[in-house]
Amino acid sequence: MAILLATDFGDAEWAAWWPALQAALPGERLLRSLDEAGGADGGAAAIDVALVANPPRGALAGLPRLRLVQSLWAGVDKLLADPTVPAEVPLARMVDPAMNEAMAETVLWAVLSLHRAHFAYARQQRAHEWRQLPQRRADEVNVAVLGLGQMGRCCALRLAANGYRVSGWSARPAAIAGMPTHAGDAALEGVLRSAEIVVNLLPLTPATRGLFDARRLAMLPRGAALINVARGAHVVDADLLAALDAGQLSHAVLDVFAAEPLPPAHPFWSHPGVTVLPHVAALTDARSAARIAARNVHALREGRALENVVDRARGY
């Protein structure tokens, strides 16, 4: 049997992933395309595992012996939305402590930058303006982390360790020592009403798409800030821009967008209240992720339970 790598990798990504996967999966037949498999059926019957990262639509269709789809990305919203990805084959997502750490670094940077007014000072510098703004203590700043999964939990703990007043929100009740947590739709308004900085680490599902619309943004205290490091479609762009223009929000740090790359004419690029990152909050690290993907391949081969299988009904 063989492992199909179905990705949109460019040369630089292949240079990192190919040696990492070969080292993690010795003795396995790794194919970058079906053509490499050969055979009368075009190689389809040779494939029992697909390792995927933004696979081209249709890349996983017509593989009769496929038994595992292992995502090299944490978020699987695009895979679940693609009807050509076989729904009966287990789909596992990437859960890598190295990615959680990277996300915690990005979120800590963004929260510190908002709290200590570094984005405001950057604007002042561009205007040659010398003005000292009030300095607050970290334990005076309320931060809400939406989504307390692999990344949200790691970020919440990192922020709390840096002195912030952190609260969390998830679908099901979660316990994090020393931190108030809330669960379910009914609790969201209360979480937002007391959050000066909101960090979005929810998966994109039918329940969370468009969560940050005019109504929810209006629940935040005036002058609050949003950090979106999950998925762009969580935000209604026009509503966010209106909230920024009205002063309801003071700033947004956005790493993810409904359309990526962010189109050149999009108003986020030049809005003074928006910091744009090119989807880099937590990149998959091939060195560790290849080993994690290999663990599931070995589990499949040895008949053990797969790790991090996506619950298709929940959508994450």
- The residues carrying an active-site annotation are 231, 279
CB of 148 to ligand NAP, least distance (A): 4
Determine the interface stretch with ligand GLV among 11-19, 69-77, 130-138, 209-217 (rule: CB under 6 A).
69-77
CB of 129 to ligand GLV, least distance (A): 36
Query: Does the CA dihedral 43-47-53-55 come out positive or negative?
Result: positive
Locate 312 and state its tokens: 């298709």
Binding site for ligand NAP (CB under 6 A): 74-75, 99, 147-152, 169-172, 174, 201-205, 207-208, 229-231, 255-256, 279, 281-282, 316
What does 170 bind: ligand NAP, ligand GLV, none (CB cut-off 5 to 8 Å by kind)? ligand NAP
Report the residue number, 36 or 82, with the smaller CB distance to ligand NAP.
82
CB of 65 to ligand NAP, least distance (A): 29
Secondary structure of 148-187 in HEC code, one letter for each residue = CCHHHHHHHHHHHHCCCEEEEEECCCCCECCECEEECHHH
CB of 298 to ligand GLV, least distance (A): 22
Between 97-115 and 286-302, two packed helices, what is the crossing angle to 10 degrees? 140
> From edge to edge, which strands make up the β-sheet containing 68-71?
29-31, 2-7, 47-53, 68-71, 91-92
DSSP state of 80: H
**Dist. CA 281–CA 19, nearest whole Å:** 24
Query: Minimal CB distance to ligand GLV: which residue?
Result: 75
Burial zone of 153 (CB within 10 Å; 0-12 exposed, 13-18 middle, 19+ buried): buried
Q: Which helix (H) or strand (E) holds 50?
A: strand 47-53
* 103 near ligand GLV (CB under 6 A): no
* 74 near ligand GLV (CB under 6 A): yes
Report the residue number, 73 or 169, with the smaller CB distance to ligand GLV.
73
* 164 near ligand GLV (CB under 6 A): no
**Dist. CA 132–CA 120, nearest whole Å:** 10
Phi, psi of 114 (to 5 degrees): -70, -50
Determine the interface stretch with ligand GLV among 27-35, 71-79, 141-149, 183-191 (rule: CB under 6 A).
71-79
Q: Which of 261, 262, 241, 260 is nearest to 252 (CA)?
A: 241
What does 205 bind: ligand GLV, ligand NAP, none (CB cut-off 5 to 8 Å by kind)? ligand NAP
Q: Which of 7, 113, 248, 284 binds ligand GLV (CB under 6 A)?
A: 284
Locate 313 and state its tokens: 């009904």
What does 148 bind: ligand GLV, ligand NAP, none (CB cut-off 5 to 8 Å by kind)? ligand NAP
Determine the interface stretch with ligand GLV among 24-32, 70-78, 148-156, 210-218 (rule: CB under 6 A).
70-78
Determine the interface stretch with ligand GLV among 59-67, 73-81, 142-150, 241-249 (rule: CB under 6 A).
73-81
* 73 near ligand GLV (CB under 6 A): yes
Locate 186 and state its tokens: 């009914």
CB of 192 to ligand GLV, least distance (A): 24
What does 201 bind: ligand GLV, ligand NAP, none (CB cut-off 5 to 8 Å by kind)? ligand NAP
Q: Which of 77, 72, 89, 86 is nearest to 294 (CA)?
A: 72
Contacts to ligand GLV by CB under 6 A: 73-75, 284
